[in-house]
Structure 1
């Protein structure tokens, strides 16, 4: 029979936090009087959540903030942060696992718990619910609780009745509740009330066929789920995988070779976990506990995600060699503090290990000077020479496949240096950096216009006509001419 598990009737608790967002803020900063959180919705600043004092003033969720201030001039407000509210809900979910292992989310402001067989651990259902309520009140979280045989009935009681439905008595407990307690759309709820079906009892006693033809099967499915004639699962929210392994030693160790051997065993176990989840470690931390209860940590930051213990182990050697073992180390703990996706890739006979060797070298250098200090040049989307590249850390950027440029650029760029010259073509002879140079071959011009949407004092003169000039003395320079303010400048040198 549905609802039975090994002879035990299923029991479900629904926790609804009607003021989750405002309670989160008021726990940190107490405010007397009406208080509301606002959020911009549909090009209007509206009430997102409010405390009990604001509700007593006639304010409600979704109300325009300007109207709320007109009704309640003493209203204090703050901008809502939904992401912080979800973090709090995550914390509440972890807290609720003290009552049962099956805890899931119920929308954006509630939890659902399958407490079948666990209520007796807290002295019965009434004592368990009282303990929940007391602990939540102490933390400043307002809640409404419902307990029934089904998820739908528990949700209805939490939102509209706040009570306990006895085992097998879902219909009796829900009869007087409005049809909106069945988790149906507002439009369907309004339509049912127009037909005279205002309560769940009225709906349960009505003919099913006309209701199905008019509202579809979803309405009666919600009714059957609440009454327990149709199943509805409760899926617990799985905790994110924890990438950490630990080893307790029967005898303390102190030699580097022994510590490296222990680290190797931990790496094999950890990399197996990483491979199962198809991720690779970017940051690793090994904690060594000494017999005097002191702790030392060695962190390793990798240039690319890895899960190969044979490649990671040598990178730990330098850090572990500096550890003070004291009277001995009796426990090692290894944790991947940051991971990235590393899906399985098809290997072939043409794939080599050059990329892996370079990443290992960068990781070794990074342990000494910092990964952020090992940098590479990357192309940037700009035709301005000074802005055609960026400098980024090698460990946190991918190399560009190619530098696409229709015109060659000099290897060396420097601030424009003026030279003597007249006319729109490069001068035949000129002096640059105390050298007398003679123009041999020229290529150009390449006209580059300034990016008007950016402020740059170096381009205040406007257009530039760039020329590649090969001198008879062997210098290959990059010159430009400014038509608006006639003048010649050298800005780069080719190899």
Structure 2
């Protein structure tokens, strides 16, 4: 009780949420299941009513299901899309009350205290919920009680309304599994002869506590209202988007840039309040003839600095066809990343910021994924000692661990004439006759025996840095097990 009003909680359970979501777009009358790979087998994740009537159930092997039901239709499950759909339902449910939260992966919980009279009473409210959800193609079971636990139990096992103050009477005939306990505990209670909640209430609490611990009694007290259980409303993630509707259409590039600048300042203020930075930006422009155009911007680093972002839009906006004019602009950060506040030093320069802006400008032309940087890799094999990663999605390495210098240019080994263990004094490479002026080495590198590599089947390599009298500085190696000389790189 609070402020003289009895608390009332509604539980909505969608037993076929995933399949209903898919069938809303592509309805079928035949048995239908969604499958998901679990325990190295393709198993049923969710199914429609027709499939349930054929004896199929969640967790069943899909191969066995096809044997039971030859005309079974199926699709691959996407649990992440189901969760997004459930969040949309959570937002829809706020039309009945402001206090709506998620209940597991397939349900909602609503605190409708003080809201039912706005719809003509609890019965009318629940009937309206059921009617709207059924018209949307969703199967639902609804429970209403004084507590969250009792409402959940009624939705899953009784589907009804527990009158105010009659919680125990409404739950007495329900199975003990309705207390939201695990399956093993429920099975053990049934073996002890405690099959219904009413029988559990009449049992001494001390033996139950010793046998099952405090979890069982806590769930029982929460369902009966002896222990409080709050309904936490679902807080949707922040949406970073701003919009401007113009009283008169515009078409000049300068006007569009001015509108974009105003939107950028609003968006960056919102991002700054959440300590976030925009990574992908999408500017949508609506023309007076209802045509839509978009300018997308991908940034090399998360940003919330409007003066730095605005010039990056200029190239895309210059290609926009304004037609008879643009009357609406909408700017959205389609992807945002954490960007905490950092201490600014008086000795720091803007070199890194300028490099990031340059990468962003180049990325709008050739794509951020095509701008690469070298990063060190954990291998002593020359061709495996580095990797190439997109510059926009990686940080530069602080240092390379190689103790010996490496050539600026590395290529597949090219054979030259020579069998002696010392670098040849004169050799021919790429149609050039070169003379060895100075040689430094050898540096012996052994193959990584745990990896299969055709290029290193010749065994050990002795590497030499050779400076020729013609000015070429080459990286040569000698293979002792199969005598031969090769050129693999060239120094600057």
Identify the residue that residue 354 of structure 1 maps to in structure 2: 351
| 1:392 pairs with one of 382, 389, 394 | 389
Structural mapping, 1:55-204, within 5 Å: 61=58, 72=68, 81-193=78-190, 196-204=193-201
* Separation in 1, partners of 2:462, 2:226: 81
Instruction: Report the CA distance between 1:441 and its aligned residue.
Output: 2.3
Cα 1:394–1:51 change in 2 (3 A) is same
Aligned twin of 2:217: 220
Question: Are 1:418 and 2:415 matched, yes or no?
Answer: yes
Q: What is the deviation of 1:97? A: 3.5
Q: Are the aligned partners of 1:254 and 1:328 in contact in 2 as well (CA < 8 Å)?
A: yes
Match of 1:40 among 33, 38, 45: 38
Structure-1 residue corresponding to 2:487? 490
Tell me how far 1:133 sits from its aligned partner. 3.2
Distance 1:227 1:193 in 2: 20
1:323/1:78 CA distance change after superposition, 3 Å: closer
Q: Cα deviation per residue 1:149-198 (whole Å; 9 max; x = unaligned)?
A: 22111101011111111223222211211222222344544554455543
Q: Give how far 1:19 is off.
A: 3.5
Task: Select 1:309's aligned residue among 306, 310, 329.
Answer: 306
Provide the C-alpha distance between the structure 1 equivalents of 2:119 and 2:219, rounded to a whole number of angstroms: 31
Can you list the C-alpha shifts for 1:459-480, whole angstroms capped at 9, x where unaligned?
Answer: 4544432211122333221112
Greater CA drift, 193-202 or 150-159: 193-202
Query: Does the CA-based 8 Å contact 1:430-1:436 persist in structure 2?
Result: yes
Deviation at 1:23, TM superposition (A): 4.6
The yes-or-no answer on 1:286 pairing with 2:302 is no
Runs of 5+ unmatched residues, structure 2 = none
Q: What's the secondary structure of 2:418's corresponding residue?
A: coil
Report if the CA contact (8 A) 1:17-1:142 is conserved. Answer: yes
Equivalent position SS for 1:9 = coil
**In structure 2, distance between residues paired with 1:210 and 1:8:** 36
CA distance in 2, matches of 1:121, 1:303: 51
1:10 aligns with 2:7: yes
Aligned length: 490
Query: How much has 1:340 moved relative to structure 2?
Result: 1.3
Per-residue CA deviation, residues 92-112 of structure 1 (Å, 9 max, x unaligned), is 334434443332221222221
* Alignment correspondent of 2:424: 427
Structure 2 SS opposite 1:159: helix
Query: Within 1, Cα distance between the matches of 2:205 and 2:114?
Result: 35
Contact residue 285 and residue 334 of structure 1 kept, 8 A: yes
Q: Once the 2 structures are TM-superposed, how far is the Cα of residue 211 of structure 1 from its aligned partner?
A: 4.5
Query: Residue 343 and residue 425 in structure 1: after superposition, are their counterparts in 2 closer, same or farther (change >3 A)?
Result: same
Q: After superposition, what is the alpha-carbon deviation per residue over 1:323-358, rounded to whole angstroms, capped at 9, x for unaligned? A: 444444433222111111111222333432211111
- Give how far 1:379 is off: 2.3
Which is worse superposed, 197-206 or 266-275?
197-206
Query: What RMSD, in angstroms, separates the aligned Cα atoms of the two structures?
Result: 3.3
Q: Which residue matches 1:363?
A: 360
Partner SS state of residue 483, structure 1: coil
TM-score by length of 2: 0.86
2:316 maps to 1:319: yes
